[in-house]
């Protein structure tokens, strides 16, 4: 219990530090935020009113305490560009990114594992070589360029897919899927390459192990040996890699969302920074930091459930 | 057994993944609940998708401060007067030209009697008074400077308003007042019920009315049956899709996912005009890109002080810098020659343009070097230039650097993020600053804010008694011929002092599918959908 409280306290302190860093960070940027808020051809006479309206005329520490008070009540403020509540704006964007990321990960796993198995089984032959080259290309090509090329090919030259945008599933399920195909393939491609390389390495190792030889000697078919024995053990590596790559995949969604004009969390973040929408920037960072801290905390706690040795060790220490 | 080791080492991460993916799938499943409508999807029917370059921000006409908001207001919030594609003032919610009193201090405007707001509220003189008062008096109003000349608004009768001006105003200078967002009239009923939240659901008179928006994504407007000219409006809706990246805007137009796009980069025009079922429409601009020179800004804009350095103290050095610039080459290098050169604040298309106002100094690096020698300056003279770090301004600065080297200057480029660059200009932390202005239909609005003593956009704190007098006289002079002369004289004064250096007059290129007809654009690039239709 003490450990649990300590861990939660630690998480809250980390969160407070994260909030303070971003709060001070956006204010440390060169340029008067009030000037930025006034916009392209804003009325300079409104400068003082803007400062007053957003509390920018008060000392930073007062602004920070007020912001913390707001957060505690669940109010992240209003976007200074649109006047819409930050919580609503973020709540609308997160599911889009999560869906894109999940679909991209599924695409990456499907392609990566299949290609990895083929490359391992055909090692030293043309098929294996081709798959390895494709993986290298997938790793090397930037998502921005790949996205534009995909649009040129599948939306202009062979117009079978929409070039960009996002249609919610309840408005039009078919269009929803059609709009997700290109972005998830582009986002998933680099990760498919990583998974393919890891799967290939793990499979090559597994295929030379004693239990695979035993399985073959027992008279199991090649397919059974590969799928049920070699691949099954190799997938452990894949699971680990997927975990390590997930953060990178969500980060990659930032670029993909820009290219395909998907109103997700990444695009929101870029647009908020570009327009110096301070409450929105703070909200976005706060949500991101909270998500990481909460998931890490849950992982830590569940780890003790899954692995009794941790519980015994740390319990003893506590 | 490496894989087994890997499992032990990575099990914590694996669990992390499991948790996250579970969350991902659960939240992804409910994405449709949180995103109200579809975004893109041009290519036909009566619903048009228009790609705009930036988020519109607040949709409250009193508070709005972005170009995109002005573009949206053109569809949903009409002004008393509008700007025609030929850069003249035309009546919209007014029925005819404004009538001026003999002393040019009172302006009477007759209003339409057939107009209704989108919520059914009748449009009348009282509504005009409520809106203009709000524009003038709301503490955070962005319209105060635009309406600075206006003293008060009186209701003369149900459909007539009388505007009392602080000073006599020429019809030309008056034309700027009510053709921009300060001329937008809002529904008094909606203002009363929504108050400060009016921008969340703006209600005005327009061919379309506000329907919905998704932040950073799109704003959708639908045809308003209450509009006085509704019979002529052929589109059912217009979706303003926000696509900041110009390459992506162009690609979407080519694929047909978007019907119309604004602000095509000049480098992309060849790939669009007549190709992939697209066409391009050009509008001559009335704005400019210019170089502000720090002549007297040592302690902030609006407070003329003393600045050291030959560029600030010697007009001959400033003249030498201007003579080193080849505007035609600049236009070719940066804009593939598709914009026009600018040599003054009066656009050649203006009825007030004269030879003096549009005179262009020649490109003469030899004379520039001679002037520097005469001024006793050791060459190359180091000069720094502050600019917003956009690729476009970066190209301008690079081209200038190479040009002015020939004239005896060593240009140091200091590109900064937009707010930081603006802050540097305001604080006087610059020698040269690249500025841009979208332009208004009357010259007064294109120069007073940049050249009048103490004006908040006069970044260089240029101050000249002669120029100030000319500005005031020209603003209140009713006779167009005399105004033309005054602006000619003012242009010569500014050129003599080299208060700022005008470089380029941007044109506006809108791209559209060939199936879209009836679209016109204002000289500031705002696209008008009143008569737009699909031909197939």
Cβ within 8 Å, pair B419-A36 = yes
Q: Which candidate, B139, B147, B138, places its Cα nearest to that of B79?
A: B147
Best probe of the B interface among A78, A253, A254, A261, by most B CBs < 10 A, is: A261
Going by C-beta distance under 8 Å and a sequence separation of 6 or more, which residues neighbour residue B444? B172, B173, B176, B471, B474, B475
Residue in A closest to B43 by C-alpha = A162
Residue in A closest to B51 by C-alpha = A261
Give B 445-474 residues with CB within 8 A of chain A: 456-457
Q: What is the pLDDT of residues B435-470, one digit of tens each?
A: 999 888 899 989 998 999 988 889 999 999 999 999
Cβ within 8 Å, pair B419-A271 = no
Measure A196 CA to nearest chain B CA, in Å: 15
User: Which tokens sit at B225?
Assistant: 């049956």
Q: What is the pLDDT of residues B389-413, one digit of tens each?
A: 888 899 999 999 999 999 999 999 9
Q: Which candidate, A135, A157, A131, A144, places its Cα nearest to that of A183?
A: A144
* A65 and A122 inside one domain: no
| A318 belongs to a structural domain | no
The CATH number that applies at residue B273 is 3.40.190.10
DSSP SS3 for A152: helix
Question: A91 burial class (0-12, 13-18, 19+ CB within 10 angstroms)?
Answer: middle
Question: B260 burial class (0-12, 13-18, 19+ CB within 10 angstroms)?
Answer: buried
Q: What is the pLDDT of residues A212-269, one digit of tens each?
A: 888 888 888 888 888 888 888 888 878 888 877 777 888 888 889 988 888 899 888 8
Residues of chain A with C-beta less than 8 angstroms from the C-beta of B7: 236-237, 239-240
Kindly tell me if the per-residue pLDDT of A315 is higher than 70: no
Report phi then psi at A155, rounded to 5: -115, -25
| B13 belongs to a structural domain | yes
Query: What is the per-residue DSSP string for A220-288?
Result: --HHHIIIIIIIHHHHHHHHHHHHHHHHHHHHHHHHHHHHTT--SHHHHHHHHHHTT-HHHHHHHHHHH
* B490 and B518 inside one domain: no
* B324 and B447 inside one domain: yes
User: Which tokens sit at B480?
Assistant: 């167009």
Q: Which candidate, B521, B515, B522, places its Cα nearest to that of B48?
A: B515
Q: What is the pLDDT of residues B467-478, one digit of tens each?
A: 999 999 998 898
Q: Which of B60, B216, B257 sits opposite A267 (nearest CB)?
A: B216
The CATH number that applies at residue B126 is 3.90.76.10
Residues of chain A with C-beta less than 8 angstroms from the C-beta of B259: none
* A49 and A128 inside one domain: no
**Which H or E element spans position B82?**
strand B81-83
* B28 and B92 inside one domain: no
CB neighbours (10 Å) of residue B197? 11
Kindly tell me if the per-residue pLDDT of B70 is higher than 50: yes
* A103 and A37 inside one domain: no
Residue in B closest to A256 by C-alpha = B248
Cβ within 8 Å, pair B35-A168 = yes
Quick one: DSSP state of residue A153? Answer: I
| B15 belongs to a structural domain | yes
For the ranges A112-126, A252-266, B20-34, B130-144, the lowest mean pLDDT is seen at B20-34
Q: Would you mind telling me the total number of residues written for chain A in this entry?
A: 318
| Diameter of chain A measured on Cα atoms | 87
Question: In the structure, what pLDDT confidence band is assigned to residue A308 with cuts at 50, 70 and 90?
Answer: low
- Domains in chain B, number: 3
The CATH number that applies at residue A122 is 1.10.3720.10
* A6 and A136 inside one domain: no
Domain boundary pick from A21, A39, A72: A72
d(CA B116, CA B390): 43
Q: How far is CA B450 from the centre of its chain?
A: 15
Kindly tell me if the per-residue pLDDT of B25 is higher than 60: no
What is the predicted ipTM? 0.70
Going by C-beta distance under 8 Å and a sequence separation of 6 or more, which residues neighbour residue A145? none
Q: Which of A163, A176, A242 sits opposite B251 (nearest CB)?
A: A163
Give B 416-445 residues with CB within 8 A of chain A: 416-423, 426, 437-438
- Domains in chain A, number: 2
Q: Could you tell me the residue range of the domain that residue A42 belongs to?
A: 2-72
Q: What is the pLDDT of residues A117-176, one digit of tens each?
A: 988 888 888 888 888 888 888 778 888 889 889 988 888 888 888 888 888 888 788 989
Question: A303 burial class (0-12, 13-18, 19+ CB within 10 angstroms)?
Answer: middle
Cβ within 8 Å, pair B28-A170 = no
CB neighbours (10 Å) of residue A28? 8
A173-207 vs A232-259: helix axis angle to the nearest 10? 140
Question: In the structure, what pLDDT confidence band is assigned to residue B271 with cuts at 50, 70 and 90?
Answer: confident
- Give the count of Cβ contacts less than 8 A between chain A and B: 265
* B273 and B339 inside one domain: no
Give B 366-425 residues with CB within 8 A of chain A: 416-423
Residue in B closest to A295 by C-alpha = B16
Phi-psi category of A39—alpha, beta or left, where left has phi over 0 and alpha has psi -120 to 50? left
Give B 190-229 residues with CB within 8 A of chain A: 197, 199-200, 213-217
| A86 belongs to a structural domain | no
User: Which tokens sit at A170?
Assistant: 């309840």
Measure A200 CA to nearest chain B CA, in Å: 12
d(CA A230, CA A224): 9
* B250 and B386 inside one domain: no
Q: What is the pLDDT of residues A40-85, one digit of tens each?
A: 566 666 777 777 877 888 888 998 898 899 888 888 888 877 778 8
* A53 and A173 inside one domain: no
B2-29 vs A232-259: helix axis angle to the nearest 10? 40
* A10 and A114 inside one domain: no
* B431 and B294 inside one domain: yes
Residues of chain B with C-beta less than 8 angstroms from the C-beta of A306: 11, 15
* B474 and B522 inside one domain: no
* A38 and A174 inside one domain: no
Going by C-beta distance under 8 Å and a sequence separation of 6 or more, which residues neighbour residue B337? B331
Measure B138 CA to nearest chain A CA, in Å: 10
* A293 and A160 inside one domain: yes
Q: Could you tell me the residue range of the domain that residue B257 belongs to?
A: 4-53+211-284+508-534
Query: What is the per-residue DSSP string for B310-362?
Result: HHHH-HHHHHHHHHT--HHHHHHHHHTT-SEE--SSS-TTSTT--HHHH----
Predicted TM-score of the model (pTM) = 0.80
Residue in B closest to A299 by C-alpha = B16
Residues of chain B with C-beta less than 8 angstroms from the C-beta of A165: 38-41, 241, 257
* B368 and B403 inside one domain: yes
**Which H or E element spans position B291?**
strand B288-293
pLDDT of residue A74: 84
Q: CA torsion B110→B116→B119→B121, rounded to 10°? A: 60
């Amino acid at each position: 219990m003490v450990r649990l409280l300590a861990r939660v306290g630690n998480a809250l302190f980390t969160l407070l530090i994260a909030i303070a860093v971003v709060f001070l960070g956006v204010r440390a940027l060169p340029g008067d935020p009030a000037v930025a808020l006034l916009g392209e051809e804003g009325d300079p006479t409104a400068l003082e009113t803007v400062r007053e309206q957003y509390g920018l005329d008060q000392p930073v520490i007062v602004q920070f305490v007020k912001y913390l008070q707001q957060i505690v009540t669940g109010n992240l403020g209003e976007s200074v560009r649109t006047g819409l509540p930050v919580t609503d704006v973020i709540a609308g964007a997160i599911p889009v990114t999560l869906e894109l990321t999940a679909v991209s990960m599924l695409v990456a796993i499907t392609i990566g594992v299949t290609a990895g198995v083929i490359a391992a089984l055909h090692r030293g032959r043309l098929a294996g070589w081709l798959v390895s080259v494709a993986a290298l290309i997938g790793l090397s090509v930037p998502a921005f360029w790949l996205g534009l090329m995909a649009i040129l090919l599948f939306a202009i030259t062979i117009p079978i897919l929409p070039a960009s945008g996002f249609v919610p599933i309840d408005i039009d399920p078919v269009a929803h899927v059609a709009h997700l195909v290109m972005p998830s393939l582009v986002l998933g491609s680099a990760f498919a390459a990583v998974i393919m390389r890891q799967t290939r390495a793990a499979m090559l190792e597994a295929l030379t192990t004693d239990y695979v030889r035993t399985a073959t000697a027992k008279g199991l078919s090649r397919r059974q040996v590969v799928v049920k024995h070699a691949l099954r053990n190799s997938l452990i590596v894949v699971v680990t890699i997927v975990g390590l790559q997930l953060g990178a995949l969500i980060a990659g969604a930032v670029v993909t969302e820009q290219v395909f004009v998907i109103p997700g969390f990444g695009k929101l973040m870029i647009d908020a920074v570009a327009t110096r929408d301070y409450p929105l920037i703070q909200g976005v960072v706060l949500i991101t930091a909270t998500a990481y801290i909460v998931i890490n905390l849950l992982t830590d706690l569940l780890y003790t459930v899954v692995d009794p040795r941790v519980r015994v060790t740390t319990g003893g220490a506590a | 057994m490496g894989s087994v080791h890997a499992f032990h080492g990575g099990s914590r991460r694996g669990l992390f993944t499991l948790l996250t993916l579970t969350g991902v799938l659960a939240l992804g499943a409910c994405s449709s609940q949180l995103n109200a409508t579809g975004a893109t999807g041009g290519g036909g029917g009566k619903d048009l998708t228009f790609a705009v370059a930036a988020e519109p921000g607040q949709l409250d006409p009193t508070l709005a401060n972005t170009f995109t908001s002005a573009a949206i207001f053109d569809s949903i919030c009409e002004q008393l007067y509008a700007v025609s594609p030929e850069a003249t003032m035309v009546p919209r919610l007014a029925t005819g030209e404004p009538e001026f009193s003999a002393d040019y201090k009172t302006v009477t405007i007759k209003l339409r009697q057939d107009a209704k707001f989108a919520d059914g509220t009748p449009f009348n003189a009282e509504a005009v008074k409520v809106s203009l008062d709000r524009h003038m008096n709301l503490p955070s109003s962005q319209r105060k400077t635009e309406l600075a000349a206006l003293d008060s608004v009186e209701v003369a009768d149900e459909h007539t308003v009388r505007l009392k001006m602080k000073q006599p105003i020429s019809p030309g200078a008056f034309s700027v007042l009510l053709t921009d967002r300060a001329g937008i009239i809002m529904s008094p009923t909606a203002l009363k019920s929504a108050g400060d939240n009016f921008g969340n659901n703006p209600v005005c008179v327009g061919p379309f009315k506000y329907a919905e928006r998704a932040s950073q994504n799109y704003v959708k407007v639908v045809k308003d049956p209450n509009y006085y000219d509704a019979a002529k409006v052929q589109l059912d809706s217009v979706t303003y899709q926000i696509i900041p990246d110009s390459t992506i805007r162009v690609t979407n137009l080519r694929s047909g996912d978007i019907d119309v796009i604004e602000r095509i980069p000049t480098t992309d025009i060849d790939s669009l005009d007549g190709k992939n079922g697209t066409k391009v429409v050009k509008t001559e601009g009335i704005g400019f890109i210019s170089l502000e020179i720090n002549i007297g800004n040592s302690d902030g804009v609006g407070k003329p002080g003393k600045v050291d350095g030959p560029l600030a103290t010697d007009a001959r050095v400033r003249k030498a810098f201007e003579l080193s610039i080849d505007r035609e080459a600049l236009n070719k290098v940066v804009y593939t020659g598709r914009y026009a050169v600018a040599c003054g604040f009066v656009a050649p298309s203006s009825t007030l343009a004269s030879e003096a106002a549009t005179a262009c100094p020649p490109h003469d690096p030899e004379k520039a070097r001679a002037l520097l020698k005469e001024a006793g300056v050791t060459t190359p003279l180091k000069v720094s230039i502050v600019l917003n770090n956009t690729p476009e301004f970066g190209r301008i600065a690079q081209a200038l650097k190479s040009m002015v080297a020939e004239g005896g200057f060593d240009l140091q480029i200091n590109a900064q993020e937009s707010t930081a660059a603006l802050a540097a200009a305001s604080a006087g932390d610059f020698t040269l600053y690249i500025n841009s202005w979208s332009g208004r239909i009357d010259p007064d609005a294109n120069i007073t804010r940049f050249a009048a003593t103490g004006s908040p956009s006069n970044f260089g704190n240029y101050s000249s008694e002669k120029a100030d007098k000319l500005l005031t006289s020209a603003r209140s002079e009713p006779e167009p011929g005399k105004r033309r002369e005054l602006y000619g004289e003012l242009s010569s004064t500014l050129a003599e002092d080299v208060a700022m250096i005008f470089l380029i007059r941007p044109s506006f290129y809108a791209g559209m599918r060939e199936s879209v007809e009836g679209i016109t654009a204002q000289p500031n690039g705002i696209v008008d959908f009143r008569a737009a239709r699909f031909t197939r």
